[in-house]
Homo-oligomer: A and B are copies of this chain.
Amino acid sequence: MLELSASSLVIVGVIAGVAVVALLIAVVLRGQVLAADEGSVRMREIAQAIQEGASAYLNRQFRTLAIFVVVVLALLFLLPGDGGIKVGRAVAFVFGAGFSAAIGYLGMWLAVRANLRVAASAQHPGGRREGARIAFRTGGVVGMSVVGLGLLGAAGVVLIFQGDAPAVLEGFGFGAALLAMFMRVGGGIFTKAADVGADLVGKVEQGIPEDDPRNAATIADNVGDNVGDCAGMAADLFESYAVTLVASLILGKAAFGEQGIIFPLIVAAIGAVVAVLGVAITRVRGDEDALTTIYRGFYISALAGVLLAALAAFLYLPSSFGAINGVSEELANHAGDPRLIAAAAVTIGVVLAGIILWLTGYFTGTTSKPTLHVASTSQTGAATVVLSGIGVGFESAVYTAGIIAAAICGVFLLAGGSVWLSLFLVALAGCGLLTTVGVIVAMDTFGPVSDNAQGIAEMSGEVDAEGAQILTDLDAAGNTTKAITKGIAIATAVLAATALFGSYADAVATSLQDILDSGKDVAGGVVTSMLAYDIISPVTLVGVILGAATVFLFSGLAIDAVTRAAGAIVFEVRRQFRENPGIMTGEVRPEYGRVVDICTRDSLRELATPGLLAAFAPIAVGFGLGVGPLAGFLGGSIAAGVLMAVFLANAGGTWDNAKKIVEDGRYGGKGSEAHAAVVIGDTVGDPFKDTAGPAINPLIKVMNLVALLIAPAVVQLSVPADANHVLRIGIASAAAAVAFGAVIASRLRAAKVDQENEARAAVAAASPR
């Protein structure tokens, strides 16, 4: 084991201290949020229903996921490797998964309490400022917890395992990413099934407003905001944070030894400091709207991140590569100044966050040309709204991908063309981007809290016009912050995945060297090609195609799951209206709980298929086709993943705001044909932007981590002349069978749901209205 020097251990100790301070600040902020006024009895009743639904869902979800965690844990022990590291990695896996779940639960727990307090605050004098403060503080708690737990986990592993920490941390990152992916998919299906179902019957068929208490799906819709947007996003960003750190540490160790492990941790600790600053300075001044406040907080803290990171680079790093203790041979003679290069890489990451923030705002904002264009197509009907939104989505995906690509090229030039150095710098740029993650999580949590607050106010009927306007404004700001943070989340995912890609290549190279060192004979022929990373090799190209295909299939499955679950909810809400006419007149309260139950059941049932696909597809490709095609698979999934994720998020975002534009009175306003057209667009966009799109972030990282973990096993089963090809093909076939079987099972279930819906429709048609 590479033991770290005493001075390094001290630094890591200080970093762990920073993490603990961040967590303590989170506790203080939490107290501030909970101290606020809880509003009227009616409001508390509604909030109570949301709390119960959300807790019940997450608890059942965690029980389901525990099974996955146990299975994966067993599989982890089957992988080759040193026993001590395996145990450490398994423990770290459980911690990563646990932290991810805890962050998600905390986000939900606090959000369902803050929503009520924001709604209540709108009634008080100075409600605008107070509401924004509570909502943003809630986000602050989650943000500080993400940063604190991520940093504490990484620092703790480094303190215990020292030089072996990177290998152990693979488990931590994998646990975090796997849980986050499931929470994104499950929560995403829940929230959008409820939302789409509520809109289809409420807004479209019955013409009653959103969040109307007569709609049986409203509570489920509000529950969904919390389990999807809050819990899912918090787990997702925690996972980005953990995985980026893991990749940085692996690559840092390979390139620079000890200092390569410590420096990324320092940058991450700076992120924690910056998060504290960001949360502290984000206060509404005068009459400004919440968005202005949030943007100011983001840009100031981003600037602080750059300055502190540069300072750290100049204090901690030497002035030449040769002076780094443990530098690799290849880099020892590199001509650049490591301090400048490291500071520049971090800066590129932060600047990337800023540009994407602006770009996403441009494509989805209510006052920007693309959204106005989509709104204007409502004059020619729903089809043109859908088409123009898809056009905007495609275009914005290309620009976002282009900006990320430019950042990677910039890092590559910084590295002077050294592939290994550039991979480490990509990871550092990712760390730079994540110095803003505290503020980003706070921005994102702001959205569902405000959305829920408006829902509670609407349902209680106890908030006056002025208060309602305050909450509507907060909700609109929340819509924009939610859209923007999605852009940043995918950028972190791409940088993390690219860096992991490098870690994967490192793992392959190490395993190959082990075989060569052992003096074993090496196979030729087909096997040689299995090792080729060359994209011109047809099987590597096949890998690229399959990687991109997995992203398409995953997106399709997620969207389908929402469509199906939403269909079930439509039939349930219609049934309640039909069987109980008192609901429409407001005399009888609808059975909210039944809709929450359907959402819970369906989303847990549907979450397995995309999850199994993500975990087993890389295993099938790796063992079946080799490490070269698996690299192609990862590359294809990153490329298709970033484009698809941004396409889905921004198409959804622009439809959402195009609807707002029409609702604000353009083209006939609410109730016009143009309005009906944009409502259809918005409904199409719901699963795009809140289910399939955001789930792609953890997806590409889970697939990269699986590849990283299996790489040594694949090499051992394919490279030696006496390799066990029967076992290799057996593993590949079994993995393909699991992934494919899950898809087939999902199809069969879908056919059954179609039959049930037909039967329900027949019942509805037969019964008197």
Residues of A within 8 A of B (CB): 196, 200, 204, 369, 372-373, 376-377, 379-384, 386-388, 390-395, 397-398, 401-402, 404-405, 408-409, 411-413, 416-419, 422-423, 426, 498, 501-502, 504-505, 525-530, 532-542, 544-550, 552-553, 555-557, 559-560, 562-563, 566-567, 570, 625, 631-632, 635-636, 638-640, 642-643, 647, 680, 683-684, 687, 750-751, 754, 757-758, 761
Contacts and interface: CB of A to CB of B under 8 A. Distances in A.
A416 B419 CA distance: 31
A553 B643 CA distance: 10
Contact of A546 (B397, B405, B539, B546): B405
A764 to B, nearest CB: 9
Nearest to A636: B639
Contact of A419 (B504, B538, B552): B538
Nearest to A681: B383
Given A539-B409, A757-B376, A553 B395 contact: yes
Instruction: Give me the 5 closest cross-chain CB pairs, A-B, nearest first.
Output: A394-B556, A417-B526, A383-B683, A391-B560, A533-B534
Contacts of A687: 387
Contact of A383 (B200, B376, B392, B530): B200
Given A380-B567, A381-B204, A404 B538 contact: no
A579 B503 CA distance: 68
9 contacts: A382-B382, A382-B680, A387-B562, A401-B552, A411-B538, A426-B538, A501-B536, A548-B640, A680-B680
Contacts of A538: 408-409, 411-412, 419, 422-423, 426, 498, 502
A631 B536 contact: yes
A227 to B, nearest CB: 21
Given A196-B383, A552-B643, A527 B417 contact: yes
Contacts of A542: 405, 408-409, 412
Contact of A369 (B380, B413, B525, B751): B751
A214 to B, nearest CB: 19
Contact of A417 (B373, B386, B528): B528
A196 B683 CA distance: 22
B638 A383 contact: no
Contacts of A550: 398
A539 B374 CA distance: 35
Contacts of A639: 541, 544-545, 547-549, 636, 639-640
Contacts of A379: 757, 761
B640 A559 contact: no
A646 B296 CA distance: 44
Given A398-B552, A533-B536, A544-B635, 17 more contacts: A200-B383, A372-B754, A382-B680, A387-B560, A391-B563, A393-B556, A404-B545, A408-B541, A417-B527, A502-B536, A534-B534, A534-B535, A535-B632, A536-B631, A541-B635, A545-B639, A547-B639
Given A398-B549, A408-B542, A384 B567 contact: yes
A419 B538 CA distance: 7
A386 B684 contact: yes
A388 B535 contact: no
A35 B610 CA distance: 58
B549 A390 contact: no
Given A533-B534, A534-B533, A541 B417 contact: no
A683 B388 CA distance: 12
